[in-house]
Each structure stands twice: as structure tokens, then as C-alpha cells.
Amino acid sequence: MRAANTDEADALRALADAHSTAVWRYVVHLSGDHAGADDVMQETLLRAWRTPAILAQAPESTRSWMFTVTPTRCSRRC
């Protein structure tokens, strides 16, 4: 059980490493809200994490999906 949790944590960390900065900058660009950008970025990453079909795509497709859903998340939070 612990190995599965470690694998999941590593996969989530890899997702965050690959996309968090770009998503955060996009939110700041859209809203100008640095504090709100953290929340929106985290929500976007978690939504991707909970959608296995998104994670199965190529990394550039995953990022495109994130950039598509981010404005809606931003309008709700920022």
C-alpha cells in the first residue's frame, strides 16, 4: 500500500513540476491576482489529476487542456 501511495505522490509531483509554473503565470496574466493564482493553479492541477483521460494524453495536450479550463476556474476565484 505504501508503494502505491509513493507512486501516486511521485506522479502528482511530476504533474506539478511540468505544469504548475505555466498555469500560475497564465492565471496571473488573466487576473493580476498573485494570491488567487496559487489557488486556481492548485485546483487546476487537482482537476487534471482526478481526470485519468487527461493524464493519459501527451504532456502538451495536458497543458492545453489546463489552459482551456483555467479561465473558468479563474473567473470563479479571482
User: How wide is the angle at C-alpha 31 spanned by C-alphas 25 and 35, nearest 5°?
Assistant: 70
Interatomic CA distance for residues 28 and 70, integer angstroms: 11
Per the CB < 8 A criterion, the answer to whether 9 and 52 are in contact is no
In one-letter notation, the amino acid at residue 5 is N
> What pLDDT is stored for residue 7 in this prediction?
82
Q: Would you tell me how many other CB atoms lie within 10 Å of the CB of residue 61?
A: 11
> What pLDDT is stored for residue 3 in this prediction?
52
**Averaged pLDDT in 10-residue chunks for the chain of 78 residues:** 68 91 96 91 92 88 94 81
pTM of the model as a whole: 0.83
Is the CATH number 1.10.357 carried by domain 2-77? Answer: no
